[in-house]
Structure 1
Amino acid sequence: MTTATWFILLGSLLLVVGFTASYIRTGPATSAIVYLVIGFVVGPMGLGLFHFNPLKESALLELLTEIAVLISLYCAGVKMPAPVTFRRWRNPLRLAVVSMSLTVGIVALFGYYWLALPLGAAVLLGAVVAPTDPVLATEVQVRHADDPDRLRFALTSEAGMNDGSAFPFVMLGLGLLGLHDLGDAGWRWFAIDVVWASGAGIIIGIAAGCLVGWTVQKLRSTYTHSEFLESFLGLGLIAFAYGISLLVNAWGFLAVFSAAVALRHTELKLAGLKQSYSDPTSGETHPGDTPQPIAHIHQSSLVFNEHLERLAEIVLVLLIGGSLFWDSWSWRAVGFAAFLFFVARPISVHLGLLGSKAPMRLRNLAGWFGVRGIGSLYYLMYAIQHGLPKDIALELIHLTLVVVALSILVHGVSVKPAIARFWRARKSAH
């Protein structure tokens, strides 16, 4: 495709999305399905107007997916309820740590014994597809900070946390392939990649979010006529927390999500405001209701960043559609996706929530809606840029693209009726 054709295609797609946003929102399909189908039509599976090669363009795709995930993590973080309590976050933590680790292990076993991958490649595959996606899972994310739905909160906070907690397993896979130093008996991997990088990322994020929130509140109380570019402050917080994390070899995804959560918590605390939840069964509110806006950085910057998130989603899903051929849909790849959706994810979620008070309906839906997407592509491109052998890279690209595409289609079609049925069941139970 020429540059002019690319601009025409993207411009037309943006116009279509702009004009039909309300219809897509209320229709049976998600917006990501629309973008993917358009990618199929103009890509090798359809008109053949373009073909995107993820291996050849791995550096570009790594950068694009990295930016998309960072913006999405910020958007998810500023919608998290405050104050942060262990009781409220206990189940999401189980999903993000225990369930995700179990998914990596189950997929690694499947990849090693069934797909005949080298052990390091099998572990890397597990790390790539285990984390759920904060970019494409908008239909199962919290709509706003006062959203009372426990399912959406669990899935949103899980996606925010496990996009950072998957990194140690990526490094473990690279280490088993001889591309990363694990240390004797894995001590360096555990001390640096697990303990230090995860802990430092969370601490950096909390410190950065609290500092920005405190500074804004202090300036507003001291200089009452001061104005801020809230969108720039939000982007600045993302870049600052992520940059500091990279500087000290901490996991930046965890830092950005933690910074966004800390920003909201700090602003509400300093303003003397409390989180208020409406009862969804009272008939006064509905799942998509929007609360009255509060003039804070976390609220004001959210709209701008959500638009950037939507733009990144359009471009990246379009590229996914343009990366697949008809012969990409092999039984090997489709079978692996089915194993991930119907076996690995549900088992890991039920085991991770074992002993919790989470209702069975919530566990079943959380086990189903483990949406895979942009985060998986980022981890894979990261591994390729760190020297992943070409034959392994091609195999993992094939498997990952099919998993992501099927996740967009299967989860996208089922999400709206499943969520609606979940809410009806909750109302009837009350």
Structure 2
Amino acid sequence: MTTATWFILLGSLLLVVGFTASYIKTVPATSAMVYLVIGFVVGPMGFGLFHFNPLEESALLELLTEIAVLISLYCAGVKMPVPVNFMRWRTPLRLAVVSMTLTVGLVALFGYYWLSLPLGAAVLLGAIVAPTDPVLATEVQVRHAADPDRLRFALTSEAGMNDGSAFPFVMLGLGLLGLHDLGDNGWRWLAVDVIWASGAGIGIGIMAGCGVAWVVQATRKTFTRSEFLENFVGLGLIAVAYGLSLLVGAWGFLAVFSAAVALRHTELKQVGLKQNYSYSSSGEVHETSESHAIVHIHESSLVFNEHLEKLAEIVLVLLIGGSLFWDSWSWRAVGFAAFLFFIARPISVHLGLWGSKAPMRLRNMTSWFGVRGIGSLYYLVYAIQHGLPENIALELVHLTLVVVALSILVHGVSVKPAIAHFWRSRNTG
């Protein structure tokens, strides 16, 4: 495709999205499904106008997916309810740690015994597809900061955390393939990749988020007429938290999500966390006791970052559609996706929430809506960039692309009817 053709295609797609946004909300489909189908039509499965090769363009795809996930993690984090406490977060914590670990294990067993992959590649495949996605799961994400729905909170916070908690398993898979130093008996992996990198990432994020919130508050108190470019402050927080994490070998995805949660928590703590705030449908916070709206960085930067997130989603899903051929839909790949959706995810969720107080309806819905997407693509190209052998890389590209595409289609078709049924059964139960 020429540059002119790309501009026409993307411009037409953006116009379609802009004009049909309200219509998409009324049909059992998601916008990501539209982008994917267009990718099918213009890619090798259709007119063959372009073909995107993730293996050859892995460096570019790594950068694009990295940016998309970071923005999405920030958007998810600033919509998390406050105050942050263990009672509220224990369900998503179980999902992000226990359930994700079980998913990695189940997929690794399937990959090793049924797909005949080397052990390291099987573990790596589990780490790639285990994390749920904060980019494509918009229909099951928290709508705004005051959204009271427990299902959307569990799925959103799970996706925010497990995009970082999957990293140790990626490094474990690379280590078993001889591409990363695990240390004697895995002690370096446990000490550095699990304990240090995870703990430091969370700590850096909390300090960065709290620090930005306090600087903003102190500046407003000192300089009463001060104004901020909230969008730049939000992007700056993402970049600083992520950069510091990379500098000390911590998991940056955990840092960015933690920074966003800490920013919102601190900003609302500064005004007392009182229940005298009303929320508009757009998620803006208004103080009922005053005549002016409270301008928080986390609220003001959210809409802008959500638009960036949507733009990244359009481009990346279009590339996914343009990466697949008709023969990509092998029984091997489709069977693996079915195993992940119908066996690995439900088993891991129900075992992970075993003994919790989460209602069975919530567990069942959570076990189904484990949307795979941009995060999986990032881990895939991250591994490729770290020297993954070509034969293994080709196999993992094949399996991952089919899983992500099927997740967009299958979860996209079922999300609206399932959510509507969930709400009806909850209200009548």
Same fold (TM over 0.5): yes
Aligned to 1:298: 298
Residues 164 and 275 of structure 1: is their aligned pair in 2 closer, same or farther, counting only changes over 3 Å?
Answer: farther
Q: Aligned partners of 1:356, 1:276: CA distance in 2, in Å? A: 32
Aligned to 1:418: 418
Residues 322 and 87 of structure 1: is their aligned pair in 2 closer, same or farther, counting only changes over 3 Å?
Answer: same
8 Å Cα contact 1:147-1:277 kept in structure 2: no
Aligned to 2:290: none
Per-residue deviation at 1:100? 0.0
8 Å Cα contact 1:146-1:275 kept in structure 2: no
Residues 423 and 87 of structure 1: is their aligned pair in 2 closer, same or farther, counting only changes over 3 Å?
Answer: same
Which range moves more in the overlay, 18-27 or 233-242?
18-27
Q: Aligned partners of 1:215, 1:289: CA distance in 2, in Å? A: 28
Aligned to 2:222: 222
Per-residue deviation at 1:275? 5.8
In the alignment, structure 1 residue 242 sits paired with structure 2 residue 242: yes
Per-residue deviation at 1:273? 3.1
How many residues are treated as equivalent by the alignment?
A: 421
What amino acid is aligned across from residue 300 of structure 2 in structure 1? S
Q: Aligned partners of 1:185, 1:274: CA distance in 2, in Å? A: 51
Aligned to 1:281: none
Residues 277 and 182 of structure 1: is their aligned pair in 2 closer, same or farther, counting only changes over 3 Å?
Answer: farther
Residues 292 and 305 of structure 1: is their aligned pair in 2 closer, same or farther, counting only changes over 3 Å?
Answer: closer
Residues 260 and 173 of structure 1: is their aligned pair in 2 closer, same or farther, counting only changes over 3 Å?
Answer: same
Per-residue deviation at 1:26? 2.3
Aligned to 1:163: 163
Per-residue deviation at 1:393? 0.2
8 Å Cα contact 1:146-1:277 kept in structure 2: no
What amino acid is aligned across from residue 146 of structure 2 in structure 1? D
Alignment of 1:56-71 (within 5 A): 56-71=56-71
Q: Aligned partners of 1:257, 1:133: CA distance in 2, in Å? A: 13
Aligned to 1:353: 353
Alignment of 1:182-331 (within 5 A): 182-274=182-274, 289-293=281-285, 294-331=294-331
Aligned to 1:73: 73
8 Å Cα contact 2:284-2:299 kept in structure 1: no
Per-residue deviation at 1:295? 1.5
8 Å Cα contact 1:140-1:155 kept in structure 2: yes
Aligned to 2:151: 151
What amino acid is aligned across from residue 230 of structure 1 in structure 2? E
Per-residue deviation at 1:272? 1.8
Aligned to 1:128: 128
Q: Any idea what SS the aligned residue of 1:244 has?
A: helix
Q: Aligned partners of 1:276, 1:338: CA distance in 2, in Å? A: 47
Q: Aligned partners of 1:118, 1:33: CA distance in 2, in Å? A: 33
Residues 291 and 384 of structure 1: is their aligned pair in 2 closer, same or farther, counting only changes over 3 Å?
Answer: closer
Q: Any idea what SS the aligned residue of 1:345 has?
A: helix
Q: Aligned partners of 2:12, 2:155: CA distance in 1, in Å? A: 33
Q: Aligned partners of 1:314, 1:222: CA distance in 2, in Å? A: 42
Residues 178 and 106 of structure 1: is their aligned pair in 2 closer, same or farther, counting only changes over 3 Å?
Answer: same
8 Å Cα contact 1:104-1:123 kept in structure 2: yes
What amino acid is aligned across from residue 135 of structure 1 in structure 2? V
Q: Any idea what SS the aligned residue of 1:307 has?
A: helix
Q: Aligned partners of 2:112, 2:188: CA distance in 1, in Å? A: 24
Residues 24 and 277 of structure 1: is their aligned pair in 2 closer, same or farther, counting only changes over 3 Å?
Answer: farther
Per-residue deviation at 1:27? 2.0
Residues 109 and 277 of structure 1: is their aligned pair in 2 closer, same or farther, counting only changes over 3 Å?
Answer: farther
In the alignment, structure 1 residue 406 sits paired with structure 2 residue 403: no
Per-residue deviation at 1:24? 1.2
Over 6 Å off, 4+ runs: none
Per-residue deviation at 1:277? 9.8
Q: Aligned partners of 1:334, 1:426: CA distance in 2, in Å? A: 33
Residues 86 and 206 of structure 1: is their aligned pair in 2 closer, same or farther, counting only changes over 3 Å?
Answer: same
What amino acid is aligned across from residue 109 of structure 1 in structure 2? L
Per-residue deviation at 1:25? 2.1
- CA-to-aligned-CA distance 1:312-358 (integer Å, 9 cap, x gap): 00000000000000000000000000000000000000000000011
Q: Aligned partners of 1:21, 1:140: CA distance in 2, in Å? A: 17
What amino acid is aligned across from residue 215 of structure 1 in structure 2? V
Structure 2: gaps (5+ residues) = 286-293
8 Å Cα contact 1:81-1:275 kept in structure 2: no
Residues 276 and 410 of structure 1: is their aligned pair in 2 closer, same or farther, counting only changes over 3 Å?
Answer: farther
What amino acid is aligned across from residue 405 of structure 2 in structure 1? A
Q: Aligned partners of 2:284, 2:211: CA distance in 1, in Å? A: 26
What amino acid is aligned across from residue 410 of structure 1 in structure 2? V
What amino acid is aligned across from residue 339 of structure 1 in structure 2? F
What amino acid is aligned across from residue 190 of structure 1 in structure 2? L
Q: Aligned partners of 2:350, 2:406: CA distance in 1, in Å? A: 22
Residues 83 and 275 of structure 1: is their aligned pair in 2 closer, same or farther, counting only changes over 3 Å?
Answer: farther
Aligned to 1:375: 375
- CA-to-aligned-CA distance 1:75-96 (integer Å, 9 cap, x gap): 0000000110000000000000
Q: CA RMSD in A?
A: 1.3
- CA-to-aligned-CA distance 1:371-392 (integer Å, 9 cap, x gap): 0000000000000000000000
Structure 1: gaps (5+ residues) = 279-284
Q: Aligned partners of 1:4, 1:414: CA distance in 2, in Å? A: 36
Aligned to 1:362: 362
Aligned to 2:393: 393
What amino acid is aligned across from residue 148 of structure 2 in structure 1? P
Share of identical aligned residues, percent?
Answer: 86
Q: Aligned partners of 1:318, 1:128: CA distance in 2, in Å? A: 20
Per-residue deviation at 1:274? 3.3
8 Å Cα contact 1:148-1:277 kept in structure 2: no
Q: Aligned partners of 1:87, 1:9: CA distance in 2, in Å? A: 48
Residues 228 and 169 of structure 1: is their aligned pair in 2 closer, same or farther, counting only changes over 3 Å?
Answer: same
- CA-to-aligned-CA distance 1:157-198 (integer Å, 9 cap, x gap): 000000000000000000000000000000000000000000
Per-residue deviation at 1:145? 1.1
Per-residue deviation at 1:215? 0.4
Q: Give the TM-score taking structure 2 as reference length.
A: 0.97
Q: Aligned partners of 1:324, 1:207: CA distance in 2, in Å? A: 42
